[in-house]
Structure 1
């Protein structure tokens, strides 16, 4: 089995989650799509109840989708944006930024990016909110470095009734505390990362303010056609997370991060640098900054040891962040989860150190 350090992209589902999907696929083979979906109603209801508990929202305002981007676009598509402004985090996901730029090219829409050196200060956000503000967009946890945004403090800022706080929680759900209680109007995220759900599954919750502003109930944003096996399996993953408890999961992931940082400390890795976990950050993200010229050498060393991690692409993933402006460095993001072991972190450090020899 490879040493898998890419939970922030695709966490590995546990056996119970995969077995739940298998059971539903076999039911479709035996009974067809319609009858098998009818038989799955109890499991589907349990999935919605679990999602609502995780997001701290009523089931009637908790919805499912396929990806964070799909749910985010469904919300943005209903916002009244002409003649308005949107406040945006410098760590907003790249696909969202590209979509907003397209909208700005066809609408009278202003995009106000909060500078990175002020982005974690709620006062900087407050000073930019005015009557034209249509939305405030930020991640709960940043994609590359795992930095924690002060969601509750930003969500508590005074704002116009129709200005929605829309939080991308893809990197938070399952490893960091975030819920609708933080003052979000829309909270959404994919389930395939830290929640270890199946691919093609995502969850979201809307506040009453969001429903009024969008002019529709939350359920209108949920597609009627969906993968029954995937959603039933998602319910199993969500309940596993709830049973274990996010604080306990986060604690174990933090231990693995400390193990990895400790194993890397003092190692000579071809001039590479471990980015410091500066400020508040979610557990489990270790980023190695390496010279672009050394990337292939390090990548080959990891592959030889059957180690899987993620080479982040800041210009694509976080195009407004400072990392996107650094053209001569490559960034290796390593994100362990519950299925990893402390001794694996030492193997990884050894492989990285050996890459420079």
Structure 2
């Protein structure tokens, strides 16, 4: 990777030290141009007309995302964000009373709340699989729960939003296949920073966003659904794009993953997300992963060496997300103070991870990307209170 060239292609690098890539990464010039060019075209010739002219770019999105995660283009749906992509998959599962949903302690609120809603609505049971000694989902405990029967779905995050671990998704997928349980993987924080291959992961469904490590536009995301499963899942809502009105009293749902889409969409965003996915594939996800995890490991070491700072990350394998506490300082207030000094980070809150007994009330979250530099991490360290 030519980091100088990549930073030159990222206008935001000249203005800010951006260590909030788990929130929203800085987009590269290629994505900015793709989105702004289409918006300009809409203003000049009209939205419908611009979409017709941009049809190749819209179709390119499906090939680009499929290449990114090792899928086929008919298994990919464009959705406006990761939450809605995840919802479209989850709410399409035909749960029955007594079904069990297994998840992890590190589950995020936007997924946990739908579990509870479906539990109340359909009479299913939501069960949290305990952690192993490394703080990630325990494969031994998961295997035992699966052996108990009745598990309709295993649904976990690949990378939690509030600590640095990477859940062993491929091993979870292997256990799910052996037990005949569906496997829904939330790749919101892993797409774009870790190499993903849906065949290796063994997931039936995978949801992701564009705005985080993929460096795509906000308001974009995608959903993968395994081809052999598509017709068994009926989306929670339909329109004239996801289904065809075949007679006054009849309709037919599409046979591909676009059954989870709606006709109206952020057209410029879809084009931009395709460009972002192409860029990630071009750079190479193995190289991106090495760069991101290497920078994060160095930052953890530097933080841990500072008195009064506690690094919270756990997991046998770790990602580009680094979480920590600074003695005597509220994490949310520290985030704002750092922002005033030109350093972007985020903060976590316990309200978003109530299944996790180890979650702190709040923590500072710094998340690195391949365009970040060692000098920027030094800038963060220098800006922290002693």
Q: Which residue of 2 aligns with 1:116?
A: 131
Q: Which residue of 2 aligns with 1:91?
A: 106
Q: How does 1:267-278 map to 2 (within 5 A)?
A: 267-268=306-307, 271-278=308-315
Is it true that 1:207 corresponds to 2:226 in the alignment?
yes
1:162–1:213: 8 Å Cα contact kept in structure 2?
Answer: no
Residue 295 to residue 156, structure 1, CA distance change in 2 (3 Å): closer
Q: Which residue of 1 aligns with 2:338?
A: 302
Deviation of residue 87 (structure 1)? 0.8
1:162–1:209: 8 Å Cα contact kept in structure 2?
Answer: no
1:173–1:189: 8 Å Cα contact kept in structure 2?
Answer: yes
Q: How many residues align?
A: 347
Q: Which residue of 1 aligns with 2:213?
A: 194
Residue 300 to residue 80, structure 1, CA distance change in 2 (3 Å): closer
Once superposed, what is the RMSD of the aligned Cα atoms?
2.1
Unpaired runs of 5+ in structure 2? 1-14, 235-252
Cα distance in 2 for partners of 1:164, 1:186 equals 8
> Which has the larger displacement, 28-37 or 306-315?
306-315
Is it true that 1:257 corresponds to 2:271 in the alignment?
no
Q: Which residue of 1 aligns with 2:4?
A: none
Deviation of residue 10 (structure 1)? 0.4
Deviation of residue 146 (structure 1)? 2.8
Q: 41, 62, 66: which one pairs with 1:27?
A: 41
SS at match of 1:188: strand
Q: How does 1:1-357 map to 2 (within 5 A)?
A: 1-83=15-97, 84-117=99-132, 120-129=137-146, 130-157=148-175, 163-181=181-199, 182-215=201-234, 217=255, 218-268=257-307, 271-282=308-319, 284-291=320-327, 293-295=329-331, 298-299=334-335, 301-316=337-352, 318-324=353-359, 326-327=360-361, 330-352=362-384, 355-356=385-386
Cα distance in 1 for partners of 2:336, 2:221 equals 33
Cα distance in 2 for partners of 1:7, 1:193 equals 6
**Deviation per residue, 1:123-145 (Å, 9 max, x gap):** 32121125422111011112121
Residue 332 to residue 165, structure 1, CA distance change in 2 (3 Å): same
**Deviation per residue, 1:175-218 (Å, 9 max, x gap):** 11222112110011111111000001111211134324315642
2:65–2:76: 8 Å Cα contact kept in structure 1?
Answer: yes
Q: Structure 2-normalised TM-score?
A: 0.84
Deviation of residue 333 (structure 1)? 0.6
2:105–2:137: 8 Å Cα contact kept in structure 1?
Answer: no
SS at match of 2:216: coil
Deviation of residue 160 (structure 1)? 8.2
> Which has the larger displacement, 33-42 or 67-76?
67-76
Cα distance in 1 for partners of 2:223, 2:333 equals 41
Cα distance in 2 for partners of 1:171, 1:139 equals 8
Residue 308 to residue 103, structure 1, CA distance change in 2 (3 Å): same
Unpaired runs of 5+ in structure 1? none
